[in-house]
């Protein structure tokens, strides 16, 4: 496992087989055949989402999934700590965090992260790691949500994929919402420890931004993104 705790937050991710983003995640584990775990709580443990994950990560990895709707596995902590990579899917972030906290999964995820397991995710699975995130968990209009706080600041996904994201994030940051990062679809923010190490993308033109309040005005600063090579 990587020596430094690592989190990759994707603004959006399609889980296509052979995706450069998937290959990047597998490589981060530094394992020959990494153990990877999908957590689909935000989508209600959608069977379709679970199947897409297995299609995307087999055979290069040993893929498993965790269901929390129903009776959770009796050895939940051991399952989480046994992984090289944990990928969290999108959906309703508020519902997901409530279920995680009920079963203690939030504590186990922090323990795994600090021990070297790579944490990653898209949309809900991206913003959950920050102090706060921009979410549609409560209504169509976007709101701020307190999250796990593994990473400082805030995060906004789907920055180029949904036209309401940018104005909503600017509105929140102009108020009392913490500064942070926005990521386009198919673009990932890579954190080593709690510091942004790089930005990667599989889509030409997709990028990420630092969004903060400077002298009373919201400032959006583009971040350099490295386009990952495709096998095609």
Q: Residues with catalytic annotation?
A: 123, 158
Q: DSSP assignment, residue 167?
A: H
Distance CA 91, CA 12 (A): 11
Name 46's Cβ contacts closer than 8 Å, sequence gap at least 6: 40, 89, 91
Helix axes 105-115, 93-103, angle to 10 degrees: 90
DSSP-derived letter for residue 42 is G
Q: Rounded CA gap, 188 and 194, in Å?
A: 15
**Contact criterion met (CB below 8 Å) for 190 and 6:** yes
Give strand pairing partners of 35: 62
Q: Is the peptide bond before 61 cis (omega within 30 degrees of 0)?
A: no
CA distance 12 to 125: 10
CB 125 within 8 A of CB 74: no
């Amino acid at each position: 496992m990587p020596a430094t705790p690592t989190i990759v937050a994707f603004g959006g991710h399609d889980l296509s087989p052979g995706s450069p983003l998937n290959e990047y995640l597998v490589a981060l584990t530094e394992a020959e055949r990494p153990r990877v775990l999908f957590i689909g709580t935000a989508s209600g443990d959608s069977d379709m989402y679970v199947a897409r994950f297995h299609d995307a990560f087999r055979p290069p990895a040993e893929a498993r999934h965790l269901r929390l709707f129903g009776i959770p596995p009796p050895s939940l902590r051991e399952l989480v700590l046994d992984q090289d990579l944990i990928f969290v899917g999108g959906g309703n972030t508020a519902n997901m965090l409530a279920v995680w906290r009920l079963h203690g999964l939030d504590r186990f995820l922090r323990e795994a992260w600090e021990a070297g397991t790579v944490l990653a995710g898209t949309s809900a699975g991206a913003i959950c790691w920050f102090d706060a995130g921009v979410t549609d968990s409560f209504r169509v209009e976007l709101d701020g949500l307190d999250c796990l706080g593994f990473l400082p600041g805030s995060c906004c996904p789907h920055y180029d994929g949904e036209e309401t994201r940018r104005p909503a994030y600017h509105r929140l940051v102009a108020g009392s919402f913490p500064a942070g990062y926005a990521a386009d679809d198919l673009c990932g923010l890579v954190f080593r420890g709690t510091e942004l190490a790089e930005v990667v993308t599989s889509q030409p033109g997709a990028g990420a931004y630092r969004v903060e309040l400077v002298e009373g005005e919201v400032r959006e600063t583009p971040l350099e993104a490295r386009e990952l090579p495709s096998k095609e």
